[in-house]
Structures are given as C-alpha cells and as structure tokens.
Amino acid sequence: MRVSKAFIPTVKETPGEAEIPSHKLMLRAGLMRKVASGFYEYLPLGQRVILKVNQIIREEMERAGAQEVLMPIMTPAELWQETGRWQKYGKELMRVKDRHDRDYALGPTHEEVITDMVRRELKSYKQLPMNLFQIATKFRDEVRPRFGVMRSREFLMKDGYSFDVDDAACDKTYWIMFEAYKRIFKRCGLLCSPVEADSGLIGGSFTHEFMVLADSGEAAIAMCEACGYAANMEKAAGVPSPAAVSQATTEAFATVDTPEKYTVEDVGVLLKLPPSQFIKTLIFLADGKPIAVLIRGDHEVNEVKVQNALGTTELVLAPAEKVMEVTGAPVGFAGPVGLKGVKILADNALKDGHDYVTGALVKDKHLVHVEIGRDCAAPWYNDFRSVVTGDGCPKCGKPLKAGRGIEVGQTFKLGTKYSKSMKCVYLGEDSKDHEAVMGCYGIGVTRTVAAAIEQHNDAEGILWPISLAPYQVHLLLLNPAEPEVAKVADQCYEDLKKAGYEVLYDDRADSSAGFKFKDADLLGMPLSVRVGSRGLKEGVIEVKRRREKEPAKVPPAQVLDKVKEFAVEEWKLCAP
C-alpha cells in the first residue's frame, strides 16, 4: 500500500481526551477515531490489526476443535429472564424496545442465546461434546467509559461456549481451551499471565483471567514469583501478617474516650496501639438489608468476596444515616459489642488475634480489651479481605507481590448454571435426561489490540509484534524528487511484495525524510527499509528493526536477505 493513496491520518499532538499510552497512540497513529463516548470507529490500519487478531483466534479455535457461529447482537428479553440476568445485570445491560414495545438487550455476552440455540438442536449424548464460538460486537453501558477501547461501551469480542456430558468431560474441554488461550496470546506477542479470578455475573465454579502485565492495567493482581501463583485481587487469598496480640486477655472490656477520633490511624496514635490490634466494623447494605463486616484494622474489606459469600445481587456501603440507624452512632464508632439486629461477618484474620479495640456504638468512645466470642457473639468467619504485598502465598508461603494487569480474556467453567435454568438437556446412555455441562471462553479482541500497544511502545510510538502489525515492512522513499532514488525504492517495493511481505510504502512527494522517520516510529511497523540518495551514493540501503536503534546498511541486492533475517527474529518473539 502506497501511503500517498492510503487513509492514515496521523497527528503530532496527543489528544487531550487520551489518558494511557494505547489510547494516545491509537488516536495519534490513525488507528481509530471517537464517534461518541465509549464508541469508536476503526480506520484501515486499526482494522488490519483487528483482522490479524481474529485470524489467530480462528486458527487456534479450529485447532482446539471449536466451530464458528454468528449470533444476533439484539436478543429478546425472554431469554435473559429465564436465567434471571435481565434483573441482575443492572444498568450495564443496554435495553431497547422495538416498535411493538417488546424488550430486547444489546448483548454484552451470549450465554442465554447460545444455550437456546443448542437446546433446540440437542437430542442425544452422541452430539456431545460441542464447542462453538463467535467473533462479534458487544455492548455494555459503562457508567464511565475511559481509556479508549479498554473500557468502551461497544467492543469486539470472541466468545465461545462448550457443552459436555458431565463434569469430567467439561474439565477436559476447559483445559484444552485454557491452553489454546495461552497460545493465542503468545502468538499475539503478549506477555500474558493466567490468574485465578471471580466469575462475576457470568457465574460458574471456577475461572481464570488472562492478564497482560502492564502498569496502566485496571485490574489489581497478586503474584508469587516463587511458585507462579497468581490471582485477581477479587479472588486472591493470602496468609496475613500475625495479629498484634496472640494471647487472650483476662481483662474485661472497658470504654475509653476518643474525642473527634474515629479512624484507626487517629485512635491508634491516641492509644499508642498498632492498626492490627483494631477491629473495623463496616456496615453494608446487601440487597438492601444491613449487615456488619468485621475486618482487622490494617486490612481492607474485599466487597466481591463478601457479595459472593452472601450470594447477593448488590452490595454497597451503607450511607451515614443508615449507619446511625443500625448502630446508634456516627460512622467510625461502630463495633460488634452490643450490636443487634444485623448479621455479623468477620474476616478469618481476626481469629488469631485478641485484646482488640473497637468502636463503642457511642460517639467519641471506643472499647479496649475486646475478645470476639467472649464479649460478642461469634460471627460468621470467612475470607473477606483483600490481600496486600507481603502476605504469604497460599500455595508455597513465600511473599506475594501486588501488580497490575489488563484483562484480555477469561475462561469459565459454568457447570449447569444456564443449562438447568434453560432446560438444555440431552438423552444419556441410560435413556434419562441430563443437563449439559457448560464452559465459557471470552477474548476482548479490541482490548487485545490496545493491550499489545500498552506492552509494546516507547517514547516515539508503537512497537508492533510482527504477528499483529498492520504491515510487516515500512518502506521509506527519502528523496522522492530524485528519479534514480525513486526507481530503486519502487523496485524494492515490488521485490518485497513478490517475496510475500506486507509493505507500507511511504512514497509521499510532499513530506521530508525527517517527517517520514517520525511517522514510521509512530506507526511502529517491526521492520523498515530506507532508500535515500546519501545511502545509494555509498552503495547501501538501510534495513532497520523498530525495536533497535541502529539500522543495518546493506547493498541493494541484499535487502531481501536482511529483511528475511530480521523477520525471522521478529517471528520468534511470537512463537507459541
């Protein structure tokens, strides 16, 4: 493709709306443009990258035994109502009405639709296993779209679904797909780590998120460099540091004055005690009903863990007026001693501690020498906290490290969550009906493009992995006004294309060499060939890898060999 005829509207300045590298560079390099908040159009270079991601996905899905289908974006409310997600999904589900006043959803995911498709055709166990996928546009009405395509309201996604005869067969399919996902992201040139995760509104018995490690990632993850354990912070478990006091006190609890002191930090300074000797009592509304969650003073409540343990649809911190109604005291003075009328949950880390400080249920007062079980009813213990750097790994005990990642894919073992509610059954060998056991496998295609840029960029622009690059070679004609130079560059263009390379040829007559160099670095093709009068006078053409500073200078007859040598090295970086 000649740049003089291409639609590649690059810009020098970073758009003010862009916050992270991928968003900035996708706009500057002319890969996409914003249409409305959370909605983007993809220009030719961006579309070429998307198609390459799609092709890698299709190849690996076929290798894993999956078949491609295509389902409608707009789906009837009745399917969502069968599983209860019409109500549970909340405002993120884009809902529309047709001219007959019938309700529909613009699908954020397609579990209901695929289950409906399969239940209408599934008769016998002989039809299983069945593994289907699609690559299609999805919609989620994000309250705050941001970071470009990282959190947009419309996005391209690969979603796949498997149907098996039983748990053992589903497990086998799950791990086949798990390995296929590892291959996909490696072929995309991404450093990607699968982490244990929470299944959220999709549901299921277990799940993994595939995280591209990047400082700009929205997801917090916990990792163990010793054994490889990794989990999303919503799911991560860890062994906490010891409690401040490990022996029970014989002293009765007592009230102390703490005027205008309601945070753990302030009361700790006043009483000269560490945060780990405190119990924080937080009041939440779980599906509208108040509950109390007890957490050690140096820890934070993990709301996802609480919500999952309770099985509630919604969990929010209670407003100040509700806290006053439930505890009889302002925010900051709640405690378990004397608290009545609410369910009390406590994090496991509180089990090993004693002699705690808590709120006294009275303004400006706290209790000291509190023993759980002695001074208040034993609560429901569970893992309700977020892990922190330095916690012990749950597998090997070595210290965990906190990091950030970009979720590009997720695999779920759904079990019979959807097949049971939607009656997706098959006739087994025993001549009885059985519910199909399902798995679900998603990849954010447009998010994968952005994640690749987040992981592969420098101060000048993008550094595309060769497997995703819009073009493999960027040919620069540096002196278009000189016929002999143009003739050599034109010949290079034809030779490179004939050799099977995808070539972007910057033949613009009105752009300086410096401007072309800048554009080449911004666009980030892995290889470039630079044809200029100065080099030709010396009998050489420059061939350069984008990730290296200095070019190789070779005679014109050796350009193809050098390009091939560099291309082989680039492809090694994407080998599964």
CA proximity to 279, closest of 338, 333, 342: 333
277 near 245, Cβ under 8 Å? yes
Nearest to 218, CA basis, from 268, 149, 168, 167: 149
Inter-CA distances, 259 with 256, 280, 298, 364, 365, Å:
10, 17, 22, 5, 7
> Rounded to 5 degrees, what angle do the CA atoms 364, 365, 366 make?
135
Domain with CATH 3.40.50.800 in the chain: 473-572
| CB neighbours of residue 429 within 10 Å | 10
Residue with token string 């695999």 = 411
Torsion sign, CA atoms 79, 83, 89, 91: positive
Count CA atoms within 13 Å of residue 345 on its CB side. Answer: 23
**Looking at the chain, how many residues does it have?**
576
**DSSP labels, 293-329:** EEEETT--B-HHHHHHHHT-S-EEEPPHHHHHHHHSS
User: CA 461: distance to chain centroid?
Assistant: 23
Q: Are 464 and 525 in contact (CB under 8 A)?
A: yes
10-residue mean pLDDT profile of the chain (576 residues): values are 97 88 96 96 98 98 98 96 91 94 96 98 97 97 91 96 97 97 97 78 70 84 88 87 92 96 95 96 96 96 93 93 96 95 95 96 97 92 93 93 91 94 97 97 97 96 98 97 96 97 97 96 98 96 96 97 98 95
Domain with CATH 3.30.930.10 in the chain: 9-72+107-234+402-454
**Given CA atoms 479, 483, 484, 490 in this order, what sign does their dihedral have?**
positive
Q: What phi, psi does 508 have (nearest 5°)?
A: -60, 130
Asked whether the beta carbons of 162 and 170 are under 8 A apart, the reply is yes
CB 483 within 8 A of CB 435: no
Eight-state DSSP code of residue 556: G
Give the Å distances, CA to CA, from 447 to 23, 49, 194, 288, 493. Answer: 11, 12, 16, 35, 32
For residue 15, what pLDDT is reported? 85
Residue 453, classed as helix, strand or coil, is helix
Instruction: Please state, in angstroms and rounded to a whole number, the distance separating the CA atoms of residues 3 and 6.
Output: 5
- Euclidean distance between CA atoms 121 and 232, whole angstroms: 37
Cβ atoms within 10 Å, residue 370: 25
Burial class for 489, CB neighbours closer than 10 Å (0-12, 13-18, 19+): buried
pLDDT of residue 439: 96
| CB-count burial class (<10 Å; 0-12, 13-18, 19+) for 247 | exposed
Q: Which amino acid is at 306?
A: V
Q: Decide if 418 contacts 438 (C-beta within 8 A).
A: yes
Q: What is the pLDDT of residue 475?
A: 98
Q: Please give the Cα distance from 384 to 304 (Å, whole number).
A: 8
Q: What is the pLDDT of residue 199?
A: 55
| Fold entry, domain 9-72+107-234+402-454 | BirA Bifunctional Protein; domain 2 (3.30.930)
Q: β-strands 380-382, 343-347: how paired?
A: parallel
Find the distance separating the first CA and the last CA of the chain, reported in whole Å. Answer: 29
Coil/strand/helix, residue 275:
helix
Mean of per-residue pLDDT scores for the chain: 94
- Spatial distance between the Cα atoms of 448 and 446, rounded to a whole number of angstroms: 5
Using DSSP bridges, classify how beta strands 206-213 and 254-257 pair: parallel, antiparallel or unpaired.
unpaired
Position 200 scores a pLDDT of: 57
Task: Please state the three-class secondary structure of 194-241 as a single string.
Answer: EEECCCCCCCCCEEEEEEEECCCCCEEEEECCCCCCEEECCCCCCECC
Q: Which residue type does 182 have?
A: K
Check if CATH label 3.40.50.800 holds for domain 473-572: yes
Residue 113, phi then psi, degrees to nearest 5: -70, -45
* Helices (runs of H) and strands (runs of E) counted in the chain: 15, 29
DSSP single-letter state for residue 383:
-
Q: How far is CA 35 from the centre of its chain?
A: 24
As beta bridge partners, residue 554 has 541
Distance of alpha carbon 149 from alpha carbon 155, whole angstroms: 7
| Ranges for all domains in the chain classified under CATH 3.90.960.10 | 254-382
pLDDT of residue 201: 52
Per-residue DSSP letter, 399: B
In terms of CATH, what superfamily is 254-382?
A: YbaK/aminoacyl-tRNA synthetase-associated domain (3.90.960.10)
